[in-house]
Structures are given as structure tokens and as C-alpha cells.
Amino acid sequence: EVQLVESGGGLVQPGGSLRLSCAASGFTFSSYWMSWVRQAPGKGLEWVANIKQDGSEQHYVDSVKGRFTISRDNAKNSQFLQMKSLRADDTAVYYCARVMDGSRWPNHPFDYWGLGTLVTVSS
Amino acid sequence: DIVMTQSPDSLAVSLGERATINCKSSQTVLFSSNNRNYLAWYQQKPGQPPKLLISWASTRESGVPDRFSGSGSGTDFTLTISSLQAEDVAVYYCQQYYGAPPRTFGQGTKVEVK
């Protein structure tokens, strides 16, 4: 059974940093693109970043470029989101999601999602 | 970036009646080389993560009831729930995965029972 479990969320002050983790199980982690998707309270879904199977390629939404870094450790079946210079509008539930299909290209939907971890940026 | 716009923002449908949600992309998500539409639909119930319902605009995922169907091509798409059940109350999102990132979602459509 595919499982994605996020951790690392919490309350952080504006300008602070936080590192999210996603532990994957039930599939060959190293074969899939992975992503982070966030959802502000009461709002819609926003894709944040994705990372290629071997970590050699990453993409980000414009609003987090230069502040967030996505990475992965295939030996530990985990991906991470390092967040710096956090702002109030980064407050959201952050979901770890798998890109379907295991293709070399990330042009597939998200077929599995974790339950999410809440990040609150507030003083 | 491709902008996804859903309509309506919310709708209330009687149990057993049809629910129709529209999604329009600001540019085509149809890849001419393989004639596939890079469009997915998700269902999100309160307190839960999204669930993939339909990929490639019309391919129902395993285990998804056949009352859910997707249609459309190019820039205009529709998710139809043929006979609304109580458990279908949720927010529904379309999402494009065409070309290079970013991946973008519609703003969501809330479906309620009338």
C-alpha cells in the first residue's frame, strides 16, 4: 500500500525557516517524480515544487523561488522541502504527492497524497 | 502559466440528480503528438487530501464509481456526476499537467446537496 507521511510543520515567525519531510513507503520511491502541493486555510490547491527521480531536476512556483528548496534522499525513501524567509502567505497545509506513472517526464497527475502537515507563519 | 478557471464556484444538486462542473484552461492542454489532454480532476472532502478521480480528461481511476465522468478537449472540460450521492459532497478541482511546470489547479467547485 502506498503511503506518504509528512512531518515538520508547526508555528514559525515571519522570516523564519522550517524543513518539511515526507516519508514514502509501499512503492519504489526512486522511480517517481515527487511534488509538494499546499492549501491555505479555506482556499484552493497550489502546486509548490517537484523533483525528478534522481534529484537532478527541480521546478518551483514563482512565489517560492529562491526561498524554498526541494530535495530527496532515495536511500531513505524521503523527500524534503526546506523553507526560508517564510511569510504569512506561506501559511498552509503542505501535502506530499506522487507524480503518477514513473515516467522520465513529470507530465502526469498526482495519484497519491499524504495527509498533510500544517505550517503557520505568524508572530 | 496556464490559468485554470472553473464554473460555477458552488452548486447545490438534489440527491439522484446530475451535477456538472466546467473547467476552462487559458491555453490548450491537448498535445497533438499523442492526442491526449493533460487534464485531471480531483475530489477533496473536508479534512482529507485530494483524491484523483480522472486523468487524461476522461480516464476514470480504478475504484472511482462510474457515475463520475470527464469530457472535453483542448481548453474546455467537464466533470459530470450523473446521479449525485450524499458521499459526493466535496470540493472538486481540475488541474493541468501539460508541458513544463508550473502545474496549476482551478479554484475549486463546492458541490452540496439541495
pLDDT in tens, A62-71: 999 999 999 9
Phi-psi region of A67 (alpha: psi -120 to 50; beta: other; left: phi over 0): alpha
Q: How far is CA A79 from CA A84, A96, B78, in A?
A: 17, 8, 34
Query: pLDDT at residue A103 above 90?
Result: no
3-state secondary structure A23-86: EEECCCHHHCCEEEEEECCCCCEEEEEEECCCCCCEEECHHHCCCEEEEEEHHHCEEEEEECCC
Chain A stretch 4-43, residues whose beta carbon is closer than 8 A to a beta carbon of chain B: 35, 37
Asked if the C-beta of B45 comes within 8 angstroms of chain A's C-beta atoms, the answer is no
A106/B95 Cβ within 8 A: no
> How many Å apart are CA B96 and CA B74, to the nearest integer?
11
Query: pLDDT at residue A101 above 90?
Result: no
> How many Å apart are CA B88 and CA A107, to the nearest integer?
28
> How many Å apart are CA B83 and CA B37, to the nearest integer?
25
> How many Å apart are CA A101 and CA A83, to the nearest integer?
28
pLDDT band at A54 (very low <50, low <70, confident <90, very high): very high
Pairing of strands A45-51, A3-7: unpaired
Q: How far is B85 from chain A (nearest CA, A)?
A: 23
Contacts of B95 in chain A (CB under 8 A): 45, 109-110
**pLDDT tens, per residue, chain B with 114 residues:** 999 999 999 999 999 999 999 999 999 999 999 999 999 999 999 999 999 999 999 999 999 999 999 999 999 999 999 999 999 999 999 999 999 999 999 999 999 999
The pLDDT of residue A102: 81
Contacts of A113 in chain B (CB under 8 A): 49-51
Question: How high is the mean pLDDT of chain A?
Answer: 97
Chain B stretch 86-105, residues whose beta carbon is closer than 8 A to a beta carbon of chain A: 93, 95, 97-105
Among the partner-chain residues A61, A62, A107, the one whose CB lies closest to the CB of B97 is: A107
pLDDT (average), residues A109-120: 98
> How many Å apart are CA A5 and CA A115, to the nearest integer?
7
Contacts of B93 in chain A (CB under 8 A): 44-45
| Side-chain half-sphere exposure of B70, counting CA atoms within 13 A | 26
Query: pLDDT at residue A94 above 90?
Result: yes
**Nearest chain A alpha carbon to B39:** A109
The pLDDT of residue A105: 85
B98/A107 Cβ within 8 A: yes
pLDDT band at A121 (very low <50, low <70, confident <90, very high): very high
A100/B93 Cβ within 8 A: no
B51/A44 Cβ within 8 A: no
Among the partner-chain residues A50, A109, A115, the one whose CB lies closest to the CB of B95 is: A109
Q: How far is A46 from chain B (nearest CA, A)?
A: 7
